[in-house]
Amino acid sequence: MRNYSAVGLIFANMYDESFRDGTAVRSMGSLPFGGRYRLIDFPLSAMVNAGITKVGVITKSNYQSLMDHIGSGKAWDLSRKNEGLYFLPPRSSDDAMYQGRIGSLMDVVPFLNHSKEDLVVLSDCHMVTSMDFDAMIKSHVESGADVTIACRHGVVPKLPDIPVLTMDASCHVTDLLLGRIADQKAYYGTGVYVMRKDWLLRILTEAAARNLYHFERDILQRRREELKIRGYVVPSLVMPIYSTESYFNANLALLEDEVRSQLFPKNRPVYTKLKDCDPVQYGLHAEVTNSLVGDGAHIDGKVKNSIIFRGVQIARNVELENCVVMQNVSVGDHCKLVNIIADKNVVIRNGVTLQGSESYPVYIAKNSII
């Protein structure tokens, strides 16, 4: 039985600048992933699995596709008469306010004031993980901490102002740095925080009075010695998205059985928007090896080690290897694609050859014709 009540807030646009190829026309949260999902599906599903029935999605820009995807929240059982899913667009056009979390959180203070829950869970969308939010929240309640930061040990991602933590044996944060430590392993924040709602509202009021906008730098780092900050080490798989290469590698990692079993555990399902599509159609000349193929696709060529989204059309005499092909892409006859990311609605005409490398995949922008 859960001894807490929590409201969730998801930052859909955090770290958009780190992956401009994919977020030029959408938010980080609406970035397609794994053949049928969007990145927001992972934190949103984790909150629902933890019993959180009131979730606000904070946006800044390019949120049309996000609105289309989450809709009323029905796919996550958040389409309710009471509580449920709330879309929280920006109330200000001042970009300076949105350089950190505090500016966007100030916009949703009325939402928090009308929430009866005692705790607040903040989450970004740039980490692909199926972490157990329930276990993290219970750990926070038992510790009595002001803030609990979800963290993971490994090579620190190339993200601006990412929290790098030093902790003692009891997971109390003894030091907090901001920014990547070059090619070194450390405990780094995954963009998930748990705190009391009354504490957050008080901090926001004080920050606004001092013209402070950066939550990690101006609150956590500056006041580390007076706050009780605790780290929660995420035991499950975490794949950060911070570049074209990291997005490419995270998608192709799904071809491994162990990765899929950790990312989609049976007791914590990942929900997404449902679409009624025909089954995959394989032509007489199709050869598909070690690939994930979405519903509604039609394949008549050779596909190897690739992620194929819904509605993709692959003609005869086509060779695809190590590719991520998003929804409704059409690949013409006699094409050869290696290490390619093709965004939605791309048309690749007959006879095109494109080849990137595993460390530098070629990204084809949405709606392009080649």
Quote the CA–CA distance of 322 and 85 in Å, as a whole number. Answer: 37
Site of tokens 């606000």 = 56
User: Positive or negative, the Cα torsion across 87, 88, 90, 95?
Assistant: negative
Quote the CA–CA distance of 213 and 297 in Å, as a whole number. Answer: 45
Is 0.85 topped by the overall pTM? Answer: yes
Per-residue pLDDT of the chain (370 residues; tens, 9 = 90+): 577 899 999 999 998 988 999 999 999 999 999 999 999 999 999 999 999 999 999 998 888 999 999 998 999 999 988 889 999 987 765 554 456 788 889 989 999 999 999 999 999 999 999 999 999 999 999 999 999 999 999 999 988 889 999 999 999 999 999 987 767 889 999 999 999 999 999 999 999 888 888 899 999 999 999 999 999 999 999 999 999 999 999 999 999 999 999 999 999 999 999 888 889 999 999 999 999 999 999 999 999 999 999 999 999 999 999 999 999 999 999 999 999 999 999 999 999 999 999 999 999 999 999 9
Domain with CATH 3.90.550.10 in the chain: 6-263
Helix (H) or strand (E) holding 65: helix 64-70
Quote the CA–CA distance of 208 and 210 in Å, as a whole number. Answer: 5
Cβ contact 244:22 at 8 Å: yes
pLDDT for the residue numbered 94: 54
Quote the CA–CA distance of 41 and 293 in Å, as a whole number. Answer: 19
- How far the first Cα of the chain sits from its last, in Å, is 56
pLDDT for the residue numbered 97: 45
Site of tokens 């089954």 = 279
Sequence letter at residue 168: D
281-364 CATH, one of 3.40.1080.10, 3.40.920.10, 2.40.50.140, 2.160.10.10: 2.160.10.10
Quote the CA–CA distance of 334 and 221 in Å, as a whole number. Answer: 56
Largest CA distance in the chain: 68
DSSP 3-state assignment of 32? strand
Domain with CATH 2.160.10.10 in the chain: 281-364
Say whether domain 6-263 belongs to CATH 3.90.550.10.
yes
Quote the CA–CA distance of 269 and 267 in Å, as a whole number. Answer: 6
Cβ contact 165:187 at 8 Å: yes
Bridge partners for 187 per DSSP = 153, 165
Quote the CA–CA distance of 104 and 75 in Å, as a whole number. Answer: 26
Please, what is the angle between helix 41-49 and helix 133-143, to 10°? 60
Cβ contact 352:370 at 8 Å: yes
Question: CB 144: neighbour CB atoms within 10 A?
Answer: 8
pLDDT for the residue numbered 304: 97
